[in-house]
């Protein structure tokens, strides 16, 4: 689940998906060394904040209404791949959302297979390790100056920030049974996000403190992950048996 990232990365942008992370990364990457916008480095949707030994590292976590995120992912045909990404770091063996599953059937089942809430609170609370600005997607344009100051981006580029685009899929367009199913699944999480606020800075006290990263659970988990990846590369059959045995014990 954890990951140690290159020291030259200055800004990490993460999310659970379906909330405009890529456009944001594309813009910031013009001025700062970031994780890869297309997630080729497998950082953008990590299940917890990565570990960095760059004392000036800063993180941005973009979130949004989970009902809209799920609708967006299904609408773009990304639900299978995104659930696979979000579950790849789990210790238990899980099945990805089937590619042929419809949003209607997903809502009817009432099980959050993306595990949006877990992903958010892993970053927001349980594994917070670096200064992180949590920003709601729809409110990014209302807090541009705060974002620029936090990331130390040139204020002269403020007017060049991409314009807001309307979502292709809107909750208001969904039929009532589907909307009701999504609300049953995500309604409580939506309320929690509303209470948290639209732009929140967390972890300021960890700025410049490598010692916090060295003592973090994130690092211990990241080390275990790297050992596991090495085992999987050289002894895949043994690795699969270990994963299956651990899953059976849970």
**pLDDT tens string 33-72:** 999 999 999 999 999 999 999 999 999 999 999 999 999 9
Q: Which of the four pLDDT bands, split at 50, 70 and 90, describes residue 94?
A: low
Q: Quick one: pLDDT at residue 247?
A: 67
Is the pLDDT at 242 greater than 80? The verdict is no
Is the pLDDT at 246 greater than 70? The verdict is no
Instruction: Report which of 155, 136, 140, 150 is spatially closest to residue 197, judged by C-alpha positions.
Output: 136
Q: What is the pTM of this model?
A: 0.88
Domain ranges of the chain: 11-249
CATH of domain 11-249: 3.40.50
The rounded distance, in Å, linking the Cα atoms of 153 and 133 is 14
Is the pLDDT at 6 greater than 90? The verdict is yes
Is the pLDDT at 169 greater than 70? The verdict is no
**pLDDT tens string 173-196:** 889 999 999 999 999 999 999 999
Give the residue carrying structure tokens 């140690």. 4
């Amino acid at each position: 689940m954890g990951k140690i990232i290159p020291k030259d990365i200055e800004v990490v942008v993460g999310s659970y998906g379906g909330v405009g992370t890529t456009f944001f990364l594309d813009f910031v990457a013009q001025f700062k060394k970031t994780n890869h916008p297309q997630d080729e480095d497998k950082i953008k949707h990590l299940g917890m904040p990565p570990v960095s030994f760059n004392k000036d590292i800063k993180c941005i976590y973009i979130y949004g209404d989970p009902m809209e995120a799920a609708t967006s992912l299904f609408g773009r045909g990304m639900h299978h791949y995104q659930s696979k990404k979000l579950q790849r770091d789990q210790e238990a063996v899980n099945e990805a959302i089937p590619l042929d599953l419809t949003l209607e059937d997903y809502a009817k089942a009432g099980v959050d297979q993306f595990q949006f809430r877990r992903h958010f609170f892993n970053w927001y609370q349980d594994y917070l390790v670096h200064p992180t600005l949590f920003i709601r997607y729809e409110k990014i344009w209302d807090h541009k100056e705060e974002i620029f100051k936090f990331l130390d981006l040139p204020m002269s580029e403020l007017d060049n920030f991409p314009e807001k685009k309307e979502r292709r899929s809107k909750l208001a367009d969904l039929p009532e049974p589907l909307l009701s199913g999504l609300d049953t699944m995500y309604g409580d999480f939506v309320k929690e996000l509303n209470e948290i606020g639209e732009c929140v800075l967390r972890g300021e006290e960890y700025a410049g403190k490598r010692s916090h990263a060295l003592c973090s659970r994130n690092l211990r988990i990241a080390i275990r992950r790297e050992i596991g990846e090495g085992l999987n590369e050289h002894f895949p059959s043994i690795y699969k048996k270990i994963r299956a045995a651990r899953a059976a014990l849970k």
